[in-house]
Amino acid sequence: MKKQAVVINPNDNVATVVDDFPVNTIIHFYIGQSEHSLQLLQDIPLGHKVAIQEIKSGEAILKYAEPIGVATELIRPGQHVHVHNLESQRGRKDK
């Protein structure tokens, strides 16, 4: 299987794609040792993140098994996860 996305830690709810992929592509990746596949709901550019689980608004987005921000809306598996739907929780003047 050619790896098209990387899940760094099995606890992560996002994968990082290693090429530019258009909407509807079925990508293949590993979570730990097990193979998985997922149909993209949006274009995902090289190096960007795609949700591999449903992430509810207000839930932590996990990469490296650590929170990298909070979802600002419901994110479905296959959707692009980036600054439009992920909010950083650190270094903020309002918190």
Partner 1 sequence: MEILGYRRPDGKVGIRNHILIIPTSVCSSTVASNIANQVPEAVALPNQHGCCQIGADHVQTVRTLVGFGKNPNVAAVLVIGLGCEGIPIRETAAEIEGSGKHVEVVVIQESGGTLKAEAEGLRKVSELVRKVAHLQPEKVDLSELSLAIECGGSDFTSGLASNPAVGKAADLLVAAGGNVILSETTEFIGAEHVLAGRAKSQEVAEKLFKIVNDCEARAKYLNIDIRDGQPTPGNIAGGISSIEEKSLGCIYKAGHAPIQDVLEYGEIPIGKGLYIMDTPGQDIESITGMLAGGATVVLFTTGRGTPTGSPIAPVIKITANKRTYTMMEDNIDLDASSIISGEETIEEVGHRIFAEIIAVANGRRTKAESLGYKEFGIYKIGSTY
The contact set with partner 1 (CB under 8 A) reads: 3, 6, 8, 16, 18, 45-49, 61, 63-64, 66-69, 81-83, 86-94
**Among all chains, which residue has been given the structure tokens 């994110």?**
75
Strand-pair category, 5-6 with 26-31: parallel
Q: How far is the CB of 61 from partner 1 (least distance, A)?
A: 8
The helices-and-strands tally (H runs, E runs) of the chain is 0, 9
Q: How far is the CB of 25 from partner 1 (least distance, A)?
A: 17
Minimum CB distance to partner 1 smaller for 36 or for 82: 82
Minimum CB distance to partner 1 smaller for 45 or for 58: 45
Q: How far is the CB of 54 from partner 1 (least distance, A)?
A: 18
Residues 8, 70: Cα–Cα separation, whole Å: 18
What is the chain's length?
95
